Amino acid sequence: MTDTRVLDIVSLYPKEMNIYGDTGNVKTIELRARLMGYKPRIHQYNVGDTWPEHVDMILGGGGQDKGQAIISDDFFTRAQQIRTLAEEGVPMLVICGLYQLFGEYFETREGKRLPGIHVLGVHTVGQDTRMIGNLVEHSEQCGPIVGYENHSGQTVLHDDGTQPWATVDDEGTGNNGTDHTEGARKFNVIGTYMHGSVLPKNPQLADFLIKKAAEHRYGTFAPQMSDEQKAQLDTLDALAGAAFDVAAH
Ligand code: GLN
């Protein structure tokens, strides 16, 4: 019998690209999808690994410039597969270092250019001054979002098909500290500087990704929850609300 509730989720380069708690995003998706009655299967994909047969969501974290250089060659061997999945509407959330590599290129402060896979129409250039601190923003898709940024790269959007993911509130610098944009979106691919981890603090974003993953796999999003599962989700939402209040004030 075919299993109709499985969601295949790729955790992209967790060995090299996983700082400031970005693994929490994978754990949040796994837990919330399970509480909604789905069967999430997490595929850790590192350099040299076999690519999974099915992919319904991709989650990738941040990393230092060194980590970005280590994954670069392997990443290119997966570029076409990832582009095709993006065009199919597979939801992807990529943070900081991987956000930069989902763009056209990332040029380090030393002038070394790492090409990206150009799913998102952005490019990034490293600066001497790092952008560090709490980040509060508003996105059209998910409303207010809180998190934390720490990057040297300044990112600029450069193509009409790629929209800013969010607008930065007073606190935080976002893509480049000048145009008040933060992150980028094309199809259901979201690139952002939001560490945090961002998903435990902003469950509306996690649920958006789960919905899109289910629609990709099964054509519809149909949560099946017992009262107890619903109560657990409500508790997680209440905790996120408390974290949000602390971060946003
Ligand atoms: N190396 C990148 C930068 O500093 C990414 C940092 C990160 O992922 N936090 O801009």
Instruction: Give the amino acid at 114.
Output: L
From 151, 173, 175, 198, give the residue whose CB has the most ligand 1 atoms within 8 Å, as the site to mutate: 151
Mean pLDDT by 10 residues, the chain (249 residues): 85 95 96 98 98 98 94 96 98 98 96 96 96 94 95 94 94 92 98 95 97 98 97 96 82
Instruction: Give the pLDDT of residue 171.
Output: 74
Nearest-atom index, ligand 1, CA of 95: 8
Establish whether residue 108 lines the binding site of ligand 1, counting it when its CB lies within 6 angstroms of any ligand atom: no
Length of the chain in terms of residues written = 249
Instruction: Give the pLDDT of residue 2.
Output: 60
Hey, is 34 helix, strand or coil? Answer: helix
Which segments of the chain does DSSP mark as H helices, in order? 23-35, 65-77, 79-87, 96-101, 198-201, 203-218, 227-248
The structure's pTM equals 0.96
pLDDT tens across 85-120, in order? 999 999 999 999 999 999 999 999 999 999 999 999
Instruction: Give the pLDDT of residue 172.
Output: 82
Establish whether residue 101 lines the binding site of ligand 1, counting it when its CB lies within 6 angstroms of any ligand atom: no
Q: How many CA atoms lie within 13 A of 84 on its CB side?
A: 6
Is the interface score ipTM higher than 0.90?
yes
**Is 142 designated active site?**
no
Nearest-atom index, ligand 1, CA of 65: 1
**Tokens of residue 41, six digits:** 């299967």
Q: How many CA atoms lie within 13 A of 65 on its CB side?
A: 18
Q: Select which of 142, 195, 216, 249 is catalytic.
A: 195
